[in-house]
Amino acid sequence: MRSSPYSTNPNKGKQRAPPRKKACQNCTKSKVRCGLEKPICSRCRSKGRSCQYPPGRVAAPGIGVTGTANDAGEDYTPLLDIQGFADTAIAPETVSLIPESGPAAAFRSPRARVVTSGQTRRLGLVFKDIDLTPSLNAVDIRDRWLRPYLLPPLGRDEIPKAYHPFTLQYISVILKTYPRYMLKDGGFPPIIHHTQVNTNHMPQSLANCYSLVRMWEQAAPGSETMVMGTVEAEMERLASETMSQHDYDLLCSFQAYLVYTILMYFSPLGNVSAVTDKTMMTLMELAFRTAQNGLFCTAEITHTRPSWESWIVVSAKRRAIYTMYLLSSVYNSDRGLPNFVADEMKGVYVPESRVLWEATDRGVWEKEYDRHLLEWEDGMLEISELWRSAETRSTERRERIGKWVRGVDEFGMMLFAVCAHIHGR
């Protein structure tokens, strides 16, 4: 047994490290003490490295770690180790965004590694078979950028949306944090569902996004131009992808482009924002591509339980599109342009409860969703119920909103706060 740190053992100062012949290969190479934990030692785990022991050598018994990258039978996305940026990720079989030569080549390392997300075990979800109802008004999402410049169509009134400066500041402070969730291993912003990251095969666009956000946030002085050029090149690649992609891939591209836009707008390199009207137009085009395939599960419309995968996709869509609208409001206000109520989103559901969004496996989610259906027998809460209307102060509306607020997560609470500040309660 190991001595207590408070032991009075006179030989404590003479205690030696475990014999190096038992250490893992990384610790042996670095000539440091190895904890000998299996399947991955504590030093390799903290540095995100693949841990390998020499054949025939046994680590200390009784010490184990679950849910790590070396668990037998798990299939993980291999990530490119970019020197100087811990936990940096590039998807497998992806054309690298970092050139083979030139200043950016200094960030390249030939060593492949595996990503770990703390104690989170990878989930084997399949997002290729989702059941959504196509949206008929998705084109209005794409054309939203035009609304400050054009008169409304005949017979249609635009409802202005007036933001207090402090409300815009509140939105900006929160959105600025979203890319920074991605700096921590296993972290994800509230517009990306945890299963999209903790999956056997992380989508290319999201894997690249994790890499580039970390590169951006940790850019060394003098590398800003290279980093910005690399991010802009990836954004151009996302914009050029065809609409024939599967809906899940379209969603992931939209999420990644949204994260890049937030990053560039609120955390510009060199204090110069690279976000332009073209950036916002492309962002709305990507939102349109995924929105047209549906913002509702087919089962949601019939008030039955959808598949977990279908719900994850549609919930992430709604969160990302709501975030895009908030970002657009800040962008327009900063340029002295008017904002209008997004009536094309009328009837779209608000983010559901925290327990549904954070459910860790299918069984837990299905059980909670059945409870959710019972709780909302009178119909899910819609975003338009948070807008000003004749029912705004009615007892029924207040009760519905109160029921939703009691179970919502931080993202939903932020959305509620903004709507309450604009429309009143």
Residue 40 is predicted with a pLDDT of 79
Residues 6+ apart with CB under 8 A from 151: none
Residue 166 is predicted with a pLDDT of 96
* Helical ranges in 19-122 per DSSP H: 25-30, 42-47
Residue 122 is predicted with a pLDDT of 60
Residue 182 is predicted with a pLDDT of 94
- Count of helices and strands (H, E) across the chain: 15, 4
Distances (CA, A) of 123 to 54, 75, 198: 30, 10, 6
Residue 270 is predicted with a pLDDT of 78
Contact 281, 145 (CB under 8 A): yes
Residue 245 is predicted with a pLDDT of 83
For the record, the structure tokens of 343 come out as 């009536």
For the record, the structure tokens of 109 come out as 């390392």
Q: Which amino acid is at 364?
A: V
Establish whether the linkage from the previous residue to 54 is cis, with ω within 30° of 0: no
**Alpha-carbon Rg for the chain in angstroms:** 25
Profile the chain (425 residues) by mean pLDDT over runs of 10 residues. Answer: 42 45 78 78 73 58 34 34 34 42 41 38 76 86 74 65 93 96 90 89 92 93 92 95 85 97 92 87 94 94 95 97 96 92 91 95 95 95 91 89 95 96 83
